[in-house]
Structure 1
Protein backbone atom coordinates (compact mmCIF):
# COMPACT_ATOMS: atom_id res chain seq x y z
CA UNK A 1 0.00 0.00 0.00
CA UNK A 2 1.47 3.36 -1.05
CA UNK A 3 0.35 6.79 0.12
CA UNK A 4 1.56 10.36 0.47
CA UNK A 5 0.54 12.91 3.09
CA UNK A 6 1.49 16.56 2.99
CA UNK A 7 1.19 19.13 5.74
CA UNK A 8 2.16 22.80 5.70
CA UNK A 9 2.49 25.09 8.70
CA UNK A 10 3.69 28.65 9.10
CA UNK A 11 5.47 30.05 12.14
CA UNK A 12 6.16 33.78 12.01
CA UNK A 13 7.76 34.27 8.57
CA UNK A 14 8.82 30.65 8.02
CA UNK A 15 6.73 28.09 6.17
CA UNK A 16 7.39 24.42 6.90
CA UNK A 17 6.30 21.60 4.59
CA UNK A 18 6.31 17.97 5.71
CA UNK A 19 5.73 15.25 3.13
CA UNK A 20 5.26 11.68 4.35
CA UNK A 21 5.44 8.89 1.79
CA UNK A 22 4.94 5.17 2.43
CA UNK A 23 5.92 2.71 -0.24
CA UNK A 24 7.17 -0.89 -0.22
CA UNK A 25 7.45 -1.13 3.58
CA UNK A 26 9.45 2.09 3.91
CA UNK A 27 8.35 5.43 5.30
CA UNK A 28 10.02 8.63 4.11
CA UNK A 29 9.59 11.96 5.87
CA UNK A 30 10.80 15.03 3.96
CA UNK A 31 10.87 18.32 5.84
CA UNK A 32 11.56 21.67 4.23
CA UNK A 33 11.33 25.09 5.86
CA UNK A 34 11.95 28.41 4.20
CA UNK A 35 11.48 32.09 4.82
CA UNK A 36 11.46 35.00 2.40
CA UNK A 37 13.94 36.84 4.61
CA UNK A 38 16.17 33.93 5.70
CA UNK A 39 15.92 31.46 2.81
CA UNK A 40 16.07 27.74 3.65
CA UNK A 41 16.04 27.21 7.42
CA UNK A 42 15.20 23.49 7.56
CA UNK A 43 15.81 20.66 5.15
CA UNK A 44 16.05 16.96 5.80
CA UNK A 45 14.84 13.45 5.12
CA UNK A 46 14.24 10.52 7.44
CA UNK A 47 13.78 7.00 6.07
CA UNK A 48 12.67 4.12 8.25
CA UNK A 49 10.80 0.85 8.05
CA UNK A 50 7.03 1.19 8.45
CA UNK A 51 7.23 -1.23 11.39
CA UNK A 52 9.27 1.32 13.40
CA UNK A 53 7.03 4.35 12.94
CA UNK A 54 5.23 4.32 16.29
CA UNK A 55 8.42 4.22 18.35
CA UNK A 56 10.11 6.76 16.06
CA UNK A 57 7.12 9.11 16.41
CA UNK A 58 7.36 8.93 20.23
CA UNK A 59 11.11 9.52 20.10
CA UNK A 60 10.79 12.50 17.74
CA UNK A 61 7.98 14.01 19.82
CA UNK A 62 10.05 13.82 23.00
CA UNK A 63 13.19 15.18 21.34
CA UNK A 64 11.44 18.07 19.57
CA UNK A 65 9.44 19.00 22.67
CA UNK A 66 12.63 19.13 24.74
CA UNK A 67 14.46 21.13 22.07
CA UNK A 68 11.54 23.56 21.79
CA UNK A 69 11.94 24.44 25.47
CA UNK A 70 15.34 25.95 24.64
CA UNK A 71 13.98 28.20 21.86
CA UNK A 72 15.05 31.64 23.06
CA UNK A 73 13.04 33.38 20.33
CA UNK A 74 9.74 31.90 21.53
CA UNK A 75 7.71 34.45 23.44
CA UNK A 76 5.58 33.34 26.30
CA UNK A 77 2.09 34.72 26.60
CA UNK A 78 3.12 37.46 29.00
CA UNK A 79 1.30 40.72 29.39
CA UNK A 80 3.27 43.87 28.52
CA UNK A 81 3.16 45.12 32.14
CA UNK A 82 4.01 41.74 33.60
CA UNK A 83 6.24 42.11 36.67
CA UNK A 84 6.00 45.92 36.58
CA UNK A 85 5.59 47.35 40.08
CA UNK A 86 2.17 48.67 41.05
CA UNK A 87 1.90 52.33 41.98
CA UNK A 88 -0.45 53.78 44.57
CA UNK A 89 -2.40 55.51 41.78
CA UNK A 90 -2.82 52.20 39.93
CA UNK A 91 -4.04 50.51 43.12
CA UNK A 92 -6.53 53.32 43.74
CA UNK A 93 -7.82 53.17 40.15
CA UNK A 94 -8.10 49.37 40.24
CA UNK A 95 -10.07 49.50 43.49
CA UNK A 96 -12.39 52.18 42.11
CA UNK A 97 -12.91 50.29 38.84
CA UNK A 98 -13.65 47.05 40.71
CA UNK A 99 -16.33 48.82 42.71
CA UNK A 100 -18.13 49.95 39.54
CA UNK A 101 -19.01 46.35 38.65
CA UNK A 102 -22.31 44.86 39.75
CA UNK A 103 -22.19 41.74 41.93
CA UNK A 104 -24.06 39.87 39.19
CA UNK A 105 -21.15 40.29 36.77
CA UNK A 106 -19.08 37.10 36.56
CA UNK A 107 -15.79 37.71 38.38
CA UNK A 108 -13.81 36.18 35.51
CA UNK A 109 -15.36 38.65 33.06
CA UNK A 110 -14.58 41.66 35.25
CA UNK A 111 -11.04 40.47 35.95
CA UNK A 112 -10.34 39.86 32.24
CA UNK A 113 -11.61 43.34 31.36
CA UNK A 114 -9.48 44.96 34.06
CA UNK A 115 -6.45 42.93 32.97
CA UNK A 116 -6.85 43.92 29.33
CA UNK A 117 -7.21 47.60 30.21
CA UNK A 118 -4.07 47.48 32.36
CA UNK A 119 -2.04 45.15 30.12
CA UNK A 120 -1.62 42.71 32.99
CA UNK A 121 -2.52 39.06 33.36
CA UNK A 122 -5.85 38.04 34.88
CA UNK A 123 -3.92 36.23 37.63
CA UNK A 124 -2.06 39.40 38.59
CA UNK A 125 -5.32 41.38 38.75
CA UNK A 126 -6.96 38.74 40.92
CA UNK A 127 -4.00 38.69 43.30
CA UNK A 128 -3.83 42.47 43.43
CA UNK A 129 -7.54 42.83 44.19
CA UNK A 130 -7.21 41.00 47.51
CA UNK A 131 -4.08 43.00 48.34
CA UNK A 132 -6.01 46.27 47.98
CA UNK A 133 -9.01 45.12 49.98
CA UNK A 134 -11.33 43.90 47.21
CA UNK A 135 -13.11 40.55 47.16
CA UNK A 136 -11.79 38.94 43.94
CA UNK A 137 -14.71 36.49 43.86
CA UNK A 138 -17.50 39.10 43.88
CA UNK A 139 -17.22 42.14 41.59
CA UNK A 140 -17.96 45.43 43.34
CA UNK A 141 -17.49 43.99 46.81
CA UNK A 142 -14.77 44.97 49.25
CA UNK A 143 -13.30 42.54 51.74
CA UNK A 144 -14.71 42.75 55.22
CA UNK A 145 -12.11 43.05 57.99
CA UNK A 146 -12.98 39.47 59.04
CA UNK A 147 -12.54 38.07 55.53
CA UNK A 148 -9.33 40.01 55.02
CA UNK A 149 -7.94 38.55 58.24
CA UNK A 150 -8.90 35.04 57.17
CA UNK A 151 -6.92 35.31 53.93
CA UNK A 152 -4.02 37.15 55.56
CA UNK A 153 -4.72 40.60 54.14
CA UNK A 154 -5.36 43.90 55.79
CA UNK A 155 -8.05 46.15 54.41
CA UNK A 156 -6.70 49.52 53.32
CA UNK A 157 -8.22 52.67 54.75
CA UNK A 158 -11.40 53.58 52.90
Structure 2
Protein backbone atom coordinates (compact mmCIF):
# COMPACT_ATOMS: atom_id res chain seq x y z
CA UNK A 1 0.00 0.00 0.00
CA UNK A 2 1.04 3.59 -0.56
CA UNK A 3 -0.17 7.03 0.34
CA UNK A 4 -1.47 8.99 -2.62
CA UNK A 5 -1.29 12.76 -3.00
CA UNK A 6 -4.70 14.39 -2.56
CA UNK A 7 -5.38 16.97 -5.26
CA UNK A 8 -6.74 20.35 -4.23
CA UNK A 9 -9.57 22.37 -5.77
CA UNK A 10 -7.43 24.31 -8.24
CA UNK A 11 -6.49 21.06 -10.03
CA UNK A 12 -8.49 20.72 -13.27
CA UNK A 13 -8.57 16.92 -12.85
CA UNK A 14 -11.23 17.37 -10.14
CA UNK A 15 -13.59 18.97 -12.68
CA UNK A 16 -13.59 15.97 -15.03
CA UNK A 17 -16.09 13.11 -15.14
CA UNK A 18 -14.67 9.75 -14.09
CA UNK A 19 -14.90 6.67 -16.29
CA UNK A 20 -16.68 3.48 -15.33
CA UNK A 21 -14.48 0.68 -13.98
CA UNK A 22 -14.50 -2.25 -16.41
CA UNK A 23 -11.56 -4.33 -15.16
CA UNK A 24 -11.64 -5.77 -11.64
CA UNK A 25 -7.98 -6.70 -11.33
CA UNK A 26 -4.90 -6.25 -9.16
CA UNK A 27 -4.48 -2.64 -10.33
CA UNK A 28 -7.96 -1.80 -9.05
CA UNK A 29 -7.30 -3.62 -5.77
CA UNK A 30 -4.05 -1.65 -5.36
CA UNK A 31 -5.86 1.64 -6.01
CA UNK A 32 -8.54 0.78 -3.43
CA UNK A 33 -5.93 -0.27 -0.86
CA UNK A 34 -3.96 2.94 -1.45
CA UNK A 35 -7.12 5.03 -1.16
CA UNK A 36 -8.01 3.34 2.13
CA UNK A 37 -4.56 4.13 3.53
CA UNK A 38 -4.68 7.70 2.19
CA UNK A 39 -8.12 8.29 3.72
CA UNK A 40 -7.01 6.95 7.09
CA UNK A 41 -3.83 9.03 7.02
CA UNK A 42 -5.76 12.21 6.08
CA UNK A 43 -8.36 11.70 8.81
CA UNK A 44 -11.29 12.13 6.43
CA UNK A 45 -14.56 10.23 6.07
CA UNK A 46 -14.56 9.77 2.31
CA UNK A 47 -12.26 9.79 -0.69
CA UNK A 48 -13.00 9.49 -4.40
CA UNK A 49 -10.45 8.32 -6.95
CA UNK A 50 -10.36 11.68 -8.81
CA UNK A 51 -9.08 13.25 -5.58
CA UNK A 52 -5.93 11.17 -5.97
CA UNK A 53 -5.66 11.86 -9.70
CA UNK A 54 -7.38 8.71 -11.02
CA UNK A 55 -10.44 9.31 -13.21
CA UNK A 56 -12.23 6.08 -12.33
CA UNK A 57 -15.53 5.61 -10.50
CA UNK A 58 -14.10 4.40 -7.17
CA UNK A 59 -14.87 5.62 -3.65
CA UNK A 60 -13.82 4.61 -0.15
CA UNK A 61 -15.68 5.97 2.85
CA UNK A 62 -16.16 5.39 6.55
CA UNK A 63 -19.52 4.16 7.73
CA UNK A 64 -19.48 6.10 11.00
CA UNK A 65 -22.84 4.58 11.96
CA UNK A 66 -21.22 1.16 12.47
CA UNK A 67 -19.46 0.19 15.69
CA UNK A 68 -16.58 -0.05 15.07
CA UNK A 69 -16.52 2.25 12.04
CA UNK A 70 -16.37 0.28 8.80
CA UNK A 71 -14.52 1.22 5.61
CA UNK A 72 -16.84 0.81 2.62
CA UNK A 73 -15.45 0.29 -0.87
CA UNK A 74 -17.66 1.43 -3.75
CA UNK A 75 -16.90 0.77 -7.41
CA UNK A 76 -19.18 2.38 -10.04
CA UNK A 77 -21.50 3.73 -7.31
CA UNK A 78 -24.75 5.51 -7.97
CA UNK A 79 -27.19 7.00 -5.49
CA UNK A 80 -30.49 5.32 -6.36
CA UNK A 81 -32.80 6.70 -3.68
CA UNK A 82 -32.84 9.51 -1.11
CA UNK A 83 -35.20 10.71 1.61
CA UNK A 84 -35.45 13.74 3.81
CA UNK A 85 -33.33 16.83 3.83
CA UNK A 86 -31.06 18.56 6.31
CA UNK A 87 -28.67 21.48 6.32
CA UNK A 88 -25.23 20.25 7.37
CA UNK A 89 -21.71 21.59 7.64
CA UNK A 90 -19.46 19.93 5.10
CA UNK A 91 -15.78 20.01 4.25
CA UNK A 92 -13.55 18.18 1.80
CA UNK A 93 -10.01 16.82 1.75
CA UNK A 94 -9.54 18.58 -1.60
CA UNK A 95 -10.66 21.91 -0.13
CA UNK A 96 -8.58 22.10 3.04
CA UNK A 97 -9.59 24.62 5.67
CA UNK A 98 -12.94 25.57 4.07
CA UNK A 99 -16.29 24.50 5.46
CA UNK A 100 -19.82 25.41 4.54
CA UNK A 101 -23.50 24.61 4.93
CA UNK A 102 -25.02 22.39 2.25
CA UNK A 103 -28.39 20.68 2.06
CA UNK A 104 -28.17 16.90 1.86
CA UNK A 105 -30.61 14.00 2.21
CA UNK A 106 -31.01 12.47 5.69
CA UNK A 107 -31.09 8.96 4.17
CA UNK A 108 -29.70 7.52 0.93
CA UNK A 109 -29.38 4.18 -0.82
CA UNK A 110 -26.45 3.47 -3.08
CA UNK A 111 -25.88 0.74 -5.64
CA UNK A 112 -22.28 -0.22 -6.37
CA UNK A 113 -19.88 -3.01 -7.10
CA UNK A 114 -17.26 -4.38 -4.75
CA UNK A 115 -13.59 -4.76 -5.69
CA UNK A 116 -14.39 -8.08 -7.40
CA UNK A 117 -17.29 -6.74 -9.49
CA UNK A 118 -20.21 -8.05 -7.41
CA UNK A 119 -23.19 -5.69 -7.26
CA UNK A 120 -24.71 -4.69 -3.91
CA UNK A 121 -26.90 -2.03 -2.35
CA UNK A 122 -26.29 -0.21 0.89
CA UNK A 123 -28.30 2.32 2.89
CA UNK A 124 -26.99 5.10 5.06
CA UNK A 125 -28.33 7.80 7.34
CA UNK A 126 -26.93 11.15 8.44
CA UNK A 127 -23.25 11.56 7.67
CA UNK A 128 -23.15 8.32 5.66
CA UNK A 129 -25.95 9.53 3.35
CA UNK A 130 -24.15 12.85 3.09
CA UNK A 131 -20.92 11.04 2.20
CA UNK A 132 -22.62 8.88 -0.47
CA UNK A 133 -23.78 12.05 -2.20
CA UNK A 134 -20.58 14.08 -1.71
CA UNK A 135 -18.30 11.33 -3.01
CA UNK A 136 -20.43 10.37 -6.04
CA UNK A 137 -20.50 14.07 -7.00
CA UNK A 138 -16.68 13.96 -7.13
CA UNK A 139 -17.00 11.19 -9.73
CA UNK A 140 -19.00 13.57 -11.92
CA UNK A 141 -16.45 16.38 -11.57
CA UNK A 142 -18.19 18.42 -8.86
CA UNK A 143 -16.97 19.80 -5.54
CA UNK A 144 -19.11 20.58 -2.50
CA UNK A 145 -18.18 24.26 -2.95
CA UNK A 146 -20.71 24.38 -5.82
CA UNK A 147 -23.48 23.60 -3.28
CA UNK A 148 -22.33 25.76 -0.35
CA UNK A 149 -25.13 28.00 0.89
CA UNK A 150 -22.97 29.77 3.48
CA UNK A 151 -19.31 29.37 4.46
CA UNK A 152 -18.48 28.74 8.11
CA UNK A 153 -15.49 29.68 10.27
CA UNK A 154 -15.03 26.21 11.75
CA UNK A 155 -12.63 27.34 14.49
CA UNK A 156 -15.06 30.00 15.72
CA UNK A 157 -17.88 27.43 15.63
CA UNK A 158 -15.78 24.94 17.65
CA UNK A 159 -14.92 27.61 20.24
CA UNK A 160 -18.60 28.56 20.49
CA UNK A 161 -19.63 24.91 20.98
CA UNK A 162 -16.92 24.39 23.63
CA UNK A 163 -18.09 27.49 25.48
CA UNK A 164 -21.69 26.24 25.38
CA UNK A 165 -20.60 22.81 26.63
CA UNK A 166 -18.65 24.34 29.52
CA UNK A 167 -21.58 26.60 30.42
CA UNK A 168 -23.93 23.61 30.43
CA UNK A 169 -21.65 21.58 32.69
CA UNK A 170 -21.96 23.96 35.63
Alignment TM-score > 0.5, same fold: no
Q: Calculate the TM-score normalised by the size of structure 2.
A: 0.23
- Which of the pair is proportionally richer in strand? 2
Q: Radius of gyration: which is bigger?
A: 1
Q: Calculate the TM-score normalised by the size of structure 1.
A: 0.25
Higher relative contact order (CA 8 A, sep 6+): 2
